[in-house]
Amino acid sequence: MNNKYDIIIAGAGASGVFMTYELTKLGVGARVLMLEKGSPLEQRICPIKKGITDKCIKCSSCSIMNGYGGAGALSDGKYNITNEFGGDLYRYVGREKAMELMLYVDSVLCELDGNEARLYSTKSSDLKTLALKNNLHLLDASVRHLGTDRNRDILAKVYEYTKGSIDMRFFDAVTDVDKRDGVFIVKTSKGETFECDNLVLASGRSGSDWMSSICRKFDINMKSNRVDIGVRVELPAEVFKHITDEVYESKLVYKTDQYNDMVRTFCMNPYGEVVSENTNGIVTVNGHSYADPALRSENTNFALLVTNQLTEPFDDSNEYGESIAKLSNMLGGGVLLQRFGDLVKGRRSSERRMEKCFTRPTLAATPGDLSLVIPKRQLDDIIEMIYALDRIAPGTANEDTLLYGVEVKFYNSKVEVDNNMETKVKGLYALGDGSGVTHSLSQASASGVLLARILAEKC
């Protein structure tokens, strides 16, 4: 077998998938290989969904985080078309080009989806005025919501479209990379060796440690990013219905009075469900929602995140976030769950108290006390934010509002790349959330399209 390729893509997340789509569409005659440590799309089923268990069992390769489509495959399929948040792609290609790429990604999604998904926008929303009156700030964005179910169907169509042009290997992670005589030598977990002229690092959110090891090996500069620590809030959907029906995803930012810290809402899932994630053996929480009304719950969930940017002498923000998540796992055997009323009264949520709770949790979690896990400053910020949200969505601060902990958003250290996403090592590129340049499905996918066009000319 000829193990020499023109392009090897390490990782099948949003950036890698859209790169293969664009290379196929452009009809590039190059030999392309995609290597992915997770499973094919059809095998990506969490054991919790299978009914094997009701809690995360820390699979060696988390089906929610890894596999074809990356962490975004089984997300709620929310594409935020904006430069205001979700990454810094515009700093490399300019604001207009970044928007053009994201709109192109949106057009591909709509074409594959049959133009079924609604596009929401916050720009003309009365919510912005209401938020400002209550010291909250609504960020502008257009939001295409596909739903977990339709998002998966679209990815399946992309796979069918590209599989004849792109060689793909699953359950096969890149373990080591060398460069000799201008050619990259790529070794995998299955003991195989491949060669290529162009190597694309697209490991996604879960590949931060691996990405750092490759960059250290080639002496590529990386800039430490922040880590966001918080909880996932779950409450009856009616509380936020007037907001989610109009804008769907409301990115609300609040500056706390007590500490002057920034707290924001993240990943809002109307009529959705809370899910657990396994990132390198650490269990955290996230949220999904579906397009199919039959799959919807009676609740809405969203994250409240406090931004932490650590400085000297400690600069490993991800390690800080991991230590908090590990403490939660230690106390709760996974995810902790607490009623807001219990939290503000300084008492633990017990099984007995949860039996009386009117809000029914969508994730099986251990009732406990989040004050034993989350540092006081961040917890004070979250409590203050909940009271602020209660002014625009009365009922947010109800006693039976549920808080799952912890939710941690790890941001890969930003890899030093140029406007073509190329590192100082010729032919070595870094893409998507794994590069630290993007933090969203839209921008990660757009970066894949960008590099596909660049390498189509080069190859």
Q: pLDDT tier at 225 (50, 70, 90 boundaries)?
A: low
Give pLDDT tens digits for 129-167.
999 999 999 998 899 989 888 999 999 999 999 999 999
| Spatial separation of the C-alpha atoms in residues 154 and 204, rounded to whole Å | 19
pLDDT of residue 312 exceeding 70: no
Task: Please give the single-letter amino acid code of residue 81.
Answer: I
Q: Which CATH architecture has domain 4-119+144-223+415-458?
A: 3-Layer(bba) Sandwich (3.50)
Percent of the residues in the chain that have a pLDDT greater than 90, as a whole number: 69
Q: How far apart are CA 277 and CA 64, in angstroms?
A: 6
Q: What pLDDT was estimated at residue 29? A: 87
Q: What is the distance between the alpha carbons of residues 280 and 110, in angstroms, rounded to a whole number? A: 33
DSSP H or E run through 254: strand 252-255
pLDDT at 380: 97
Task: For residue 393, give both structure tokens.
Answer: 């969505």
**pLDDT number for residue 333:** 85
Helix crossing, 441-458 with 14-26: angle to 10°? 40
The tens digit of pLDDT for each residue in 44-102 reads 888 877 777 877 877 878 888 889 998 888 788 899 999 999 999 999 999 999 999 99
**By 3-state DSSP, what share of the chain in percent is helix, strand and coil, each rounded to 5?**
35, 25, 40
CB 231 within 8 A of CB 405: yes
- DSSP, residue by residue, 293-339: GGG--SEEEEEEEEEE---TT---HHHHHHHHHHHHHHHHSS-EEEE
pLDDT band at 278 (very low <50, low <70, confident <90, very high): confident
Q: How far apart are CA 431 and CA 13, in angstroms?
A: 10
Residue 266 CB partners (closer than 8 Å, separation 6+): 228, 230, 251, 302, 303, 304, 305, 409
Q: Is the pLDDT of residue 286 over 60?
A: yes
Contacts of 305 (CB under 8 A, 6+ apart): 228, 229, 230, 263, 264, 266, 407, 409
- What the block records as the tokens of 153 is 């169907």
pLDDT, position 363: 95
Answer yes or no: is pLDDT of 264 > 60.
yes
Average pLDDT of span 183-203: 96
Residue 111: pLDDT band by 50, 70, 90 thresholds?
very high
Helix or strand (DSSP H, E) at 455: helix 441-458
Q: Within a 13 Å sphere around the CA of 275, how many CA atoms are in the beta-carbon half?
A: 26
Exposure b/e, 6-43, CB count within 10 A at least 16 = b? bbbbbbbbbbbbbbbbbbbeeebebbbbbbbbbbbbee
Under DSSP, the state recorded for 106 is H
Positions of CATH 3.50.50.60 in the chain:
4-119+144-223+415-458
Mean pLDDT of 117-123: 85
pLDDT at 244 > cutoff 70: yes
Give residue-wise pLDDT tens across range 33-50. 999 999 999 998 888 777
Continuous segment of H or E residues that includes residue 183: strand 183-188
Please give the model's pTM, rounded to 2 decimal places. 0.84
* pLDDT reported for residue 1: 52
Give the model confidence (pLDDT) of 435-450 as tens digits: 989 989 999 999 999 9
